[in-house]
Structure 1
Amino acid sequence: MTKEMFAENLNTKFRLNAGSSNMIEIELVELSEGVSTPKQEQFALLFRGPSDFFLPQRIYHMEHDKLGEFDLFLVPVGRDENGFQYEAVFNRFIQSS
């Protein structure tokens, strides 16, 4: 998964299994770029989830209409009037062609 793939799906909903077959939706609300080099890509994703359901830090199985299914490590980073916020940080090497 690349930064561009997530950028194309900003402000869309992702479904995840929150345990006991409890599926909830979270929305990708922000993509922040880190310090990248020609060989390394760094970025962070910020998701917003419901205010009445807290997700602890762990790996979640995610589903998205365009991106398909994948696992993602989410960390709770805040809460506001719109819900809980979760972050996923990417720091990956870029494959040379």
Structure 2
Amino acid sequence: MELLKLEDFAGCVNDTFASRLDDVPLEFVLVEARALQNPSPAAVRQPFSLLFRNTAAVVFPQKIYPLHHPRTGEVGIFLVPIAMEPAGFLYQAVFN
């Protein structure tokens, strides 16, 4: 399995990623993809962060969600709810 990189997501900002929780379909919109500071010269990849928004009225638990997008295919990404905005809840995934 190849490691995911920022470049895999950089062109997908503002795109919708389809997912599901049990049998309920969900949509997460990628609102930010940014590099993080590289803590070690021995790091396997440049650390990065992804922010997704979901417009449901409820917050979903932190867990691995299967996210599908035509560019990335289906990948399991651990999403953590981090904020509530008027437009919905924000979820973050950090890759280091």
- TM-score tier, shorter chain, comes to 0.7 to 0.9
Deviation at 1:32, TM superposition (A): 2.4
Does structure 2 conserve the Cα–Cα contact (< 8 Å) formed by 1:28 and 1:47?
yes
Match of 2:11 among 8, 12, 17: 8
RMSD: 1.4
The count of residues paired between Structure 1 and Structure 2 equals 90
Report the Cα distance in structure 2 between the residues aligned to 1:45 and 1:14, rounded to whole angstroms.
Answer: 12
Structure 2: which 5+ residue stretches go unaligned? none
Aligned mates of 1:24, 1:53 — CA distance in 2: 12
1:59 counterpart letter in structure 2? I
TM-score w.r.t. the length of structure 2 is 0.85
8 Å Cα contact 1:51/1:81 also seen in 2: no
Q: Deviations over 1:45-91 (max 9, x none)?
A: 00000142321101111111221111000000001100000000000
TM value normalised by structure 1: 0.85
List, as ranges, runs of 4+ consecutive aligned residues in structure 1 with deviation greater than 4 Å: none
Q: Contact between 1:45 and 1:87, CA under 8 Å: does it hold in 2?
A: yes
Percentage of matched positions with identical amino acids: 37
